[in-house]
Amino acid sequence: MSDVKKPFGIDLGTTYSAIAHLDAAGRPEVIGNSEGDRTTPSVIVFDPSGEIVVGREAKNEAVLNPDRVVEMVKRYMGSEGWQRTIDGVDWTPEKLSAQILRKLVRDAAEATGVPVEDVVITHPAYFTDVERAATRAAGQIAGLNVLGLIEEPVAAAYAYSMTAEEELEGSILVYDLGGGTFDACVITVSRVGDGKDIRVLVTEGQRTLGGKDWDARTLGYALSEFSIKTGMDFDAYASGAMGEESATRYAQMLQELTSEVEKAKFSLTMKPKARIPVSFENERATIELTLEQFDDMTADLLLQTIDLTRQAIDTARDKGIENIDTVLLVGGSSRMKQVAAAVTKLMGFEPRLFEPDLAVAKGAAFVAMHLEFIKPMPVPDGGDGQAPAPPVPVTPQEARDRAEKLGVPAAVAQPLIDNSCGTVTSHALGVVAVDDSTAPPSYRVSHIIPRQTPLPCNETRTYGTYDEGQQIVSIEVKQGDSDIPEDCHDLGQVELHLPRPMPRGTPIDVTFTMDAEGLLAVTGLQPDTGAIVNAPVQRPAIISDGEIAAAAAQHSAISMRD
């Protein structure tokens, strides 16, 4: 194993994942896994022997062990209370995702001879802060130093802007339909020195909409047609009324049929019809599926993506973007013919299908190297209990020296050094306030930072104390677009202590300051008395630092099948 350290980019996907780096010439390269594939199924099987199997072999073995397989973990990232218990061990989404990361990292290290330690991990643009924090925790559990997180559409646009033959500037619409999530982002690209400024203006999306939903529709169609052809009553098997062994055989059949459905969907990207073989309880049939049938049964799913895309375009227009110059289709599910046809109809020109399976990982590799060049130098703790000084920014020359040490050619390094990225808030942020216009008064979320606000940002709203003689003001921070507190994510709480009991309606100025990395600080000010509280929001951890360390130690001892 080489002593040379270099950063890697990871596309931690719902259905497939990939890892990439920049080669000696500065070109992005997606690294093949131990099976020789450049993408790895995000599937985990817990073998009865105690071994963990991840990837293609796990997907194949899932037929034999349907109760021991875990898929689609990404849809549950940040979901408090969701877990799978297998052999008496509780597995959260973060711990499960760490196993997928371990597989990617191990295979990449073996293929390149370079240890994989520093990484950038991608996530859907529509993820909340809680879901992003869970993604970072997964990387830490896997033993990785997470340099940063980046939105998947931004990573794809980054890769395209760095590899396109033509000079790319202007506005880009990224339509990103993956296996489990959908994002539509409007991004601007402009020159900055030798590099590019890649800035998100608008993001829309749905975290539970992706290619797997098209698969589910097709699976239902195949089961229905098989029942018609054979008279088979699947409800009795699914309910367990036919016995445990029959229910297990039914689960195995569903797993096998899911694989055939995926093949049929891919076949329809090239042919007008596909054939789906189904076999169960000595009954066999071949279900024919035409492209027209497939499009009809999934039309509402496609329409959801188009509606979200239209919303993104309309919001971008409100922000001054009159025309979209380029449309990129990324994500494996964007290969479906219906996608290109619908987007062409919406835009009036054909989109570009850009490496749907690999673009996000390649973009993450570019961002990882960019961060490796410019990451600030940490300052040692001065001791005596004093907090360490802020990190020292890296000078352009220090960044070039880092590039030279890593063996990156100057012609490749300088654009990466000069590159910059910016994004927007994907969800609104606000505080819980009392609405006394209702009877009885009710708690509502009052939004201070609207969604789609460019980062960094600073916003202030003025409220009044509710109780007569109130001396403590609790500022409860929420993230979400609803005004119902229970529908939003809890990001923490800050307390403002007033110098004396104050009358009802005493003004309180609440300021939200969010930096470019999405870190939020809250200031509460009573302007008449000067009472103030200014503190970063301590987000409720999905998993604590102690739990991360314990999980990392536990996972390093778990055997993963070679």
The neighbouring-strand residues paired with 190 are: 197
Residues 81 and 225 both lie in one domain: no
Q: What per-residue confidence (pLDDT) applies to 106?
A: 95
Q: What per-residue confidence (pLDDT) applies to 519?
A: 76
Are 199 and 231 in contact by the 8 Å Cβ rule? The answer is no
What CATH number is given to the structural domain containing 155?
Answer: 3.30.420.40
- Model confidence pLDDT, tens digit, residues 432-449: 999 888 888 899 999 999
Q: What per-residue confidence (pLDDT) applies to 183?
A: 95
Q: How far is CA 13 from the centre of its chain?
A: 8
Instruction: Please report whether residue 70 resides in a domain.
Output: yes
Q: How many domains does the chain have?
A: 3
Residues 409 and 454 both lie in one domain: no
Residues 408 and 494 both lie in one domain: no
Instruction: Please report whether residue 196 resides in a domain.
Output: no
Q: At what angle do helices 545-556 and 93-112 cross, to 10 degrees?
A: 50
Distance between CA 142 and CA 25 in Å, rounded?
29
Distance between CA 103 and CA 142 in Å, rounded?
10
Instruction: Please report whether residue 146 resides in a domain.
Output: yes
In whole numbers, what is the pLDDT of the chain averaged over residues?
89
Residues 412 and 438 both lie in one domain: no
Instruction: Please report whether residue 317 resides in a domain.
Output: no
Q: Smallest Cα–Cα separation from 9: which of 412, 359, 394, 330?
A: 359
Residues 260 and 292 both lie in one domain: yes
Distance between CA 504 and CA 507 in Å, rounded?
9
Distance between CA 289 and CA 272 in Å, rounded?
9
Instruction: Please report whether residue 190 resides in a domain.
Output: no
Residues 419 and 482 both lie in one domain: no
Q: How far is CA 357 from the centre of its chain?
A: 15
What CATH number is given to the structural domain containing 463?
Answer: 2.60.34.10
DSSP of 130-162, one letter per residue? HHHHHHHHHHHHTT-EEEEEEEHHHHHHHHHHH
Domain that holds residue 63: 8-165+356-380+389-423+546-556
- Model confidence pLDDT, tens digit, residues 148-163: 999 999 999 999 988 8
Residues 6+ apart with CB under 8 A from 554: none
Distance between CA 31 and CA 18 in Å, rounded?
8
**Is the four-CA dihedral 372, 106, 259, 47 of positive or negative sign?**
negative
Instruction: Please report whether residue 331 resides in a domain.
Output: no
Q: What per-residue confidence (pLDDT) applies to 412?
A: 83
Domain boundary among 255, 281, 297: 297
Instruction: Please report whether residue 123 resides in a domain.
Output: yes
Residues 144 and 158 both lie in one domain: yes
Residues 118 and 253 both lie in one domain: no
Instruction: Please report whether residue 535 resides in a domain.
Output: no
Residues 400 and 434 both lie in one domain: no
Q: Buried b vs exposed e over 458-469: b needs ≥16 C-beta within 10 Å? A: ebebebebeeee
Residues 157 and 261 both lie in one domain: no
Q: What per-residue confidence (pLDDT) applies to 3?
A: 59
Residues 28 and 109 both lie in one domain: yes
Domain boundary among 260, 278, 297: 297
What CATH number is given to the structural domain containing 285?
Answer: 3.90.640.10
Q: Smallest Cα–Cα separation from 420: which of 239, 134, 195?
A: 195
Residues 449 and 403 both lie in one domain: no
Domain boundary among 260, 282, 297: 297
Q: Length of the chain, please?
A: 562
pLDDT by 10s per residue, the chain, length 562: 555 678 999 999 999 999 999 988 888 999 999 999 999 999 999 988 888 999 998 988 776 777 888 999 999 998 878 999 988 888 999 999 999 999 999 999 999 999 999 999 999 988 888 888 899 999 999 999 999 999 999 999 999 988 887 777 899 999 999 999 999 999 999 988 888 899 999 999 998 899 999 999 999 999 999 999 998 888 888 777 778 888 888 888 888 898 899 999 999 999 999 999 999 988 999 999 999 999 999 999 999 999 999 999 999 999 999 999 999 999 999 999 999 999 999 999 999 999 999 999 999 999 999 999 988 876 665 555 555 566 778 888 988 988 888 888 888 889 888 988 888 988 999 999 998 888 888 999 999 999 999 989 999 999 999 999 999 999 999 999 999 999 998 888 889 999 999 999 999 999 999 887 777 889 999 999 999 988 776 555 556 667 777 777 766 666 666 6
